[in-house]
Amino acid sequence: MTSDQFEYDAIGVIRTPFESPEGMPIQSAGTDATGTVELAESYAAGLQDLAEFSHCILLYHFHASDDDVSLTVEPFLDEAERGLFATRAPQRPNPIGLSVVEIDTVTDREITVNGVDVVDGTPLLDIKPFVPQFDAPDDVDAGWLETSQSAVTEKRADDRFC
């Protein structure tokens, strides 16, 4: 059975030092900020064995992004208009975000993470362990970003996607 609409329930919330998108790091690789992933009690058992991994992938809902979606955007790391799907811009047809973060501790129903780059209170949709053999192919091209990658650690978000 197929459907054009899907509904997801948050499994928790991501707590961070960032009150709004403006001024936030633009990628998790660009920050050492610490955050806490708080799961709903009903999902706590799912954290078993996660502490054995150094990193995890957080999938979340971009709740603080504007709903006005354009298929071309000027990304934070470039001055040219790019196709939306060739960027990591937060305004998407389906406002789903992804961050790879370092796991510091896992206790009860909380994960303390480093390298968090999301707005405080972000609804969490899923957590997956980061596995280099699955998630980091050896021979990769980064397209137009090849010339901008060094700026990711210094660049901060402005108001263009708020």
Residue 44 has pLDDT above 60, yes or no: yes
Q: What is the mean pLDDT of residues 30-39?
A: 88
pLDDT confidence of residue 49: 98
pLDDT confidence of residue 136: 78
Taken in order of first residue, the domains within the chain and their CATH numbers are 12-131+138-157 (2.40.30.70)
Which residues of 77-121 form beta strands (DSSP E)? 82-83, 96-107, 110-114
Range in 9-13, 18-22, 137-141, 145-149 the model is least confident about: 145-149
Identify which of 12, 121, 14, 16 has the alpha carbon closest to the alpha carbon of residue 64. 121
pLDDT digit string (tens) for 99-131?
999 999 999 999 999 999 899 999 999 999 999
Q: Which residues of 16-53 are buried (b: 16+ CB within 10 A; e: fewer)?
A: bebeebeebbbbbebbebbbbbebeeeeeeebeeeeee
